[in-house]
Amino acid sequence: MSKSLKSSEIASHLNLELIGNDVLVNSFSQLSNIRPNTVVFAKKYNDGFIYLLNAHMDIFAIVTSDYKGKLNCSHVISNNPRLDYIKVLTDFFEPVDPDKGKIDPTAVIKIGAVLGKNVTIGANCYVGPKVVIGDNTIIHPNVVIDNIVSIGHDCEIKSGTVIGQSGFGFERDENGDPIRFPHLGKVMIGNNVSIGANNTVDRATLGATILEDYVKTDNLVHIAHNDVIKYGSLITAGAIFSGGVTVGEKTWVAPNTCFMQQITIGSNVTIGLGAVVLKNVDDYAVMVGNPAHKLEK
């Protein structure tokens, strides 16, 4: 950040009422290591946090309504302190990438590829001739995007990810030898999608593999041919989707989960840690275990 802020400026930015003194804020910290003139947040109530926050009169805190009337430090009351803290970090403290909007000279951009405005492509990337990338999208170093792939605007593809390669599909012939099923489809990635490091997103056999708007994947995720991940779903590290899986909107997938091919996961579902999902899942279900079963409320 180029200059210090006052806590009143941050409160105004969040459309929240400042309570307490208008202090100078020039950085950020966490409750376990509070530093002077920083912004902190507390998403849950804890009596110990009251003493901790009141011991620092030169900080600005974002807290829940449970703290109302109990703090002497500069603060605001928020319905979602963690979300508002994220907004503050993003809008005021996240460093500007000096290479944003640039294409590294070591990147290979094939003739025919279509790049939108302000696209960033890092070192040693490969972008094939049938790839379309939307405005303001960031492709980190060592990414391969090939065959028929469209990526929307304001996306981020992290290092080591491969998008658009053929998936795994074979049929045995009369001698029992595996014969590869040609993958001739495409990959369609929406807007504001984030794909983690070392992901694989396979092109469809026929049709399309689809990641809708605001899908976010962690590192080390595999999305197979013809999968559809719908709006706003969050996929954490180590998740493996077999071919033809559909995941509904705003679903949460925990680490190290596996999904049988050709099943449908509903919207607003929670898939628990290490679950092995073999059957269709209804909306709002919580699935745990191997094989995964519905956790009854």
CB 137 within 8 Å of CB 103: no
Q: Which long-range contacts (CB under 8 A, 24 or more apart) does 201-205 make?
A: 201/161, 201/162, 201/163, 201/164, 202/164, 202/165, 202/166, 202/167, 202/168, 202/227, 202/243, 203/147, 203/148, 203/149, 203/164, 203/165, 203/166, 203/167, 204/167, 205/167, 205/169, 205/181, 205/243
φ/ψ of 83, rounded to 5, equals: -65, -45
Does residue 222 have an active-site annotation? no
φ/ψ of 53, rounded to 5, equals: -70, -40
Which entry of 75, 140, 183, 225 is annotated as an active-site residue? 225
Active-site residues, by number, are 225
